[in-house]
């Protein structure tokens, strides 16, 4: 296991290097000049050229890339081209806000989706099974921004139970978390149902029933443990999706997260923020994959990494 973890951690270097090269080149090939955005209208070509020289944008791409990676190795993500503030503190603050939404949404998805999947699997072809199947199909098909607007209209505008937008306390946390969580609940419930049904049909489960083992013990000690690997997999994938898809939720609810920061930075051609934000997301997803692989071994003793 230790060697496996070391190998997986070693893969961080080439993956992040590849991500940095792709992001750097794509951003610099996109039409638009941040110097013109900073200079504004009415600035002469000489003034724009002076800004480009001040920001180092007039140097060859290879030189700019090497300078940028050199600063990254020292832990320096540079300064924002627009605000001239340090990039790393901004990224960490905004990423923390996005992480709160993703963790809260994942908790909602696992609780509701897991419960729906268990009830549907243990009451197969019943009214509950058909009802939860229909709800799952509706949840998968529903656009996340539309769901957010519906929740805002119902609970904030009509009922007035929670604030509609902003980040001013625990109450403002409810609607964006529900929006993310309900969108992911559908897939979690479907995977949970399918995985449980497959395990419930195994011979050892039928043997446990025949021996008179209590149903609750069979479900939690035998079935859930062996059905957990697909659920962990889809949970990890959904968590990564929530981190990336939170930008729509953050836009609807005016939540100061990383997604909104990156969208604004892309529109303004603020290269350091976009590059640093994408690298931070890539590092998080890679770490999430490593944690998922480790969880496999703990949940299923048959899985061993040599």
Give 30-83 pLDDT, tens digit per residue.
Answer: 666 666 666 666 666 666 677 667 666 667 778 778 877 877 778 777 777 777
End position of a domain, from candidates 73, 108, 126: 73
Do residues 233 and 151 both lie within one domain? yes
228 in any annotated domain = yes
Mean pLDDT of the chain: 78
Is 4's pLDDT higher than 60? yes
104 in any annotated domain = yes
Residue 267 pLDDT? 78
Q: How many domains does the chain have?
A: 2
275 in any annotated domain = yes
- Work out the percent of the chain whose per-residue pLDDT is above 90: 0
Do residues 199 and 168 both lie within one domain? yes
What is the residue whose two structure tokens read 């058909």?
130
Do residues 63 and 99 both lie within one domain? no
Residue pLDDT, tens place only, 293-302: 777 777 776 6
Name the residue with higher pLDDT: 220 or 27. 220
Do residues 143 and 290 both lie within one domain? yes
Rounded mean pLDDT, 110-134: 82
User: How far is Cα 64 from Cα 70, in angstroms, rounded to an integer?
Assistant: 10
What is the residue whose two structure tokens read 């503190």?
89
Residue 30 pLDDT? 66
From 172, 180, 167, select the one nearest 106 (Cα to Cα): 180
Is 222's pLDDT higher than 80? no
Q: Specify the pTM.
A: 0.75
195 in any annotated domain = yes
Do residues 65 and 183 both lie within one domain? no
Q: Which positions ≥6 away from 276 have C-beta within 8 Å? A: 77, 78, 87, 88, 91
222 in any annotated domain = yes
Residue 254 pLDDT? 79
Do residues 61 and 103 both lie within one domain? no
Rounded mean pLDDT, 249-266: 81
The CATH code of the domain that includes 112 is 1.10.3720.10
Report residue 242: phi and psi, to 5°: -65, -40
62 in any annotated domain = yes
Do residues 66 and 111 both lie within one domain? no
End position of a domain, from candidates 73, 103, 121: 73
Is 256's pLDDT higher than 80? yes
175 in any annotated domain = yes
> With bands split at pLDDT 50, 70 and 90, how would you rate the model's confidence at 112?
confident
> With bands split at pLDDT 50, 70 and 90, how would you rate the model's confidence at 135?
confident
Least confident of 54-68, 108-122, 198-212, 285-299: 54-68
3-class state of residue 292 by DSSP? helix
Is 305's pLDDT higher than 60? no
DSSP string, 177-242: HHHHHHHHHHHHHHHHHHHHHHHHTSHHHHHHHHTT--HHHIIIIIIHHHTHHHHHHHHHHHHHHH
Residue pLDDT, tens place only, 138-177: 777 777 777 878 888 888 887 878 777 777 777 777 888 8
What residues pair up with 86 in beta bridges, in sequence order?
Answer: 79
User: How far is Cα 77 from Cα 61, in angstroms, rounded to an integer?
Assistant: 17
304 in any annotated domain = no
Q: Identify the domain containing residue 184 by its residue range.
A: 92-299
Is 306's pLDDT higher than 60? no
Do residues 53 and 192 both lie within one domain? no
């Amino acid at each position: 296991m230790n060697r496996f973890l070391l190998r997986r951690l070693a893969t961080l270097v080439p993956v992040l290097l590849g991500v940095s090269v792709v992001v750097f080149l794509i951003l610099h090939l996109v039409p638009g000049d941040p110097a013109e955005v900073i200079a504004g209208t009415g600035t002469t070509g000489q003034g724009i050229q002076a800004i480009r020289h001040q920001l180092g944008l007039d140097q060859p791409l290879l030189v700019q890339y090497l300078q940028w990676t050199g600063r990254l190795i020292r832990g320096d993500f540079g300064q924002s081209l627009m605000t001239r503030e340090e990039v790393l503190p901004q990224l960490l603050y905004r990423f923390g806000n996005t992480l709160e939404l993703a963790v809260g949404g994942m908790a909602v998805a696992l609780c509701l989706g897991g419960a729906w999947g268990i009830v549907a699997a243990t009451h197969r072809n019943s009214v509950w099974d058909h009802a939860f199947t229909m709800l799952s199909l509706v949840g998968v098909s529903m656009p996340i921004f539309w769901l957010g607007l519906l929740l805002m209209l119902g609970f904030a505008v009509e009922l007035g139970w929670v604030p509609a937008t902003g980040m001013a306390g625990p109450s403002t946390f409810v609607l964006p978390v529900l929006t993310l969580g309900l969108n992911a609940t559908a897939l979690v419930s479907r995977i949970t149902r399918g995985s449980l049904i497959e395990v419930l049909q195994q011979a050892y489960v039928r043997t446990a029933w025949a021996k008179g083992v209590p149903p609750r013990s069979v479900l939690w000690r035998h079935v859930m443990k062996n059905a957990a690997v697909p659920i962990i997999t889809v949970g990890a994938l959904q968590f990564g999706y929530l981190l990336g898809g939170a930008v729509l939720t953050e836009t609807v609810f005016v939540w100061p997260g990383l997604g909104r920061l990156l969208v604004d930075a892309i529109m303004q051609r603020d290269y350091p923020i976009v590059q640093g934000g994408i690298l931070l997301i890539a590092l998080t997803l890679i770490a999430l994959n490593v944690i998922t692989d480790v969880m496999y071994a703990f949940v299923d003793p048959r899985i061993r990494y040599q």
